[in-house]
A = this chain, B = another copy of it.
Amino acid sequence: MCRRAFLRYDGPVEERRTRLAILGSTGSIGRQTLDVVSKYRREFEVVALSAGRNADLLAAQVVEVRPRFVDALERTPVLEDAVRSVGAVWLPAEEIAAHPDVDLVVVATVGAAGLLPTLAALRARKAVALANKEVLVMAGHLVRRELERSGGELRPIDSEHSAIWQSLWGEEGHAIRRIILTASGGAFRDRTLDELARVSPEEALDHPTWRMGPKITVDSATLMNKGMETIEAAWLFGVPMERVEVVIHRESVIHSLVEFSDGSVKAQLGVPDMRLPILCALAYPKRLPEPVAPLLDLAAYGQLTFGKPDFDRFPCLRLAMEAGRLGGTYPAVMAAADEVAVARFLAGELGFLDIPAVIERALERHEPIPDPSLEEVLAADAWARQVAGAVPAGAW
């Protein structure tokens, strides 16, 4: 009877606002989450903010939003003042994530920083809205286990995974035949290998569709971002990597698709705007009454295009999918090596095609551990950072 719920809404009306903790509030997703919340003040209440080193912006957010709890990697005098002025309390992100006064934890940090708060939140049976790719890439098996043990809840914020998630509402997980992730193809989808070798950091930061942080924009240009998304999708939706595919779709209008056992395909579409998947993750299981992003006009688009990804020009996609299939500590090594390689590329130390070469080097040298513990994942991460930092330029 579940599926027939669409005929009318009989559910209870939520009286209390959802209490949010936003971890990584000064990043791109964190700022857009605050933007969405500002449009839906009757639905959401921000009770905690945390950020890394952007203390000035965090201070401004604290004054604006007046959270009860704050965490930051760097506590400047301005930030200390702001926290004091609104009567907020300093609390480590992991404790924020498990606090009884928090309903939903938005994990919008970058890199390995989101892992411990995510596990802490799930352990405390919270809902987690996850924008941090590395959490599932590094430790998808641990997150999945915690989810099944604790009864917490995971909601994706990535536009691709949100599309798959929305396409699965009312469906049964065992009926998934294939998950088809769409990829814009990145900024350099039409470049030759030779041209790719000469790409500068400035060029790599200019993404055709999405405005995002620098790390993810470069990952998008190398297709590493899409590779990591295949691993995320496999863990989020409980399907083997062999059932996850990538199709190039330049317009980024179909955000991803699910093919079911009977051959039917469902998809979620929209104008490329992260505020929609953010809203879906915050509001679930409700659909809120007003849009936060422009509406889609298919006739105005005229056409949508599709093609196969080129694993030769974009070896990061191949490496990530291989690491995902191998499992164990391989994906953590891949993600850590990528983080270091991208930072070195942005610092001018490495060429664009050195990024996959550095990652491949780290993967080749790695002694994998199957079903690793959290400590083993973090050790593999640290090891890979060291290795990736030492590979010289021109490795490809």
Contacts and interface: CB of A to CB of B under 8 A. Distances in A.
A121 to B, nearest CB: 17
A174 B13 CA distance: 13
A264 B287 contact: yes
Contacts of A288: 261-262
Contact of A270 (B238, B264, B270, B284): B264
A268 B266 contact: yes
A165 to B, nearest CB: 9
B6 A168 contact: yes
B306 A299 contact: yes
Contacts of A358: none
The main secondary structure of chain A at its interface with chain B is: mixed
A247 interface: yes
Contact of A261 (B290, B304, B307): B290
A192 interface: no
Interface in A349-371: none
Interface string A239-279: 00000000111000010010111111111111000001001
Nearest to A269: B265
Contacts of A289: 175, 261-262
Contacts of A347: none
Contacts of A170: 2-3, 5-6, 168-171
Q: How large is the interface on A (under 10, 10 to 19, 20 to 34, 35 or more residues)?
A: 35 or more
Contacts of A248: 299
Copies of this protein, total: 2
B247 A263 contact: no
Given A5-B170, A171-B170, A279 B259 contact: no
Contacts of A8: 172-174
A279 B306 contact: no
Nearest to A176: B6
Contacts of A11: 172
A104 B259 CA distance: 26
Interface string A283-321: 111111111111110110111111110000000000000
Given A7-B238, A9-B173, A266 B263 contact: no
A112 interface: no
A180 B7 CA distance: 18
A21 interface: no
Given A298-B180, A303-B306, A307-B299, A3 B167 contact: no
5 contacts: A5-B171, A171-B287, A249-B298, A302-B305, A302-B307
Given A5-B172, A263-B293, A264-B270, 5 more contacts: A2-B3, A2-B170, A166-B264, A254-B267, A262-B283
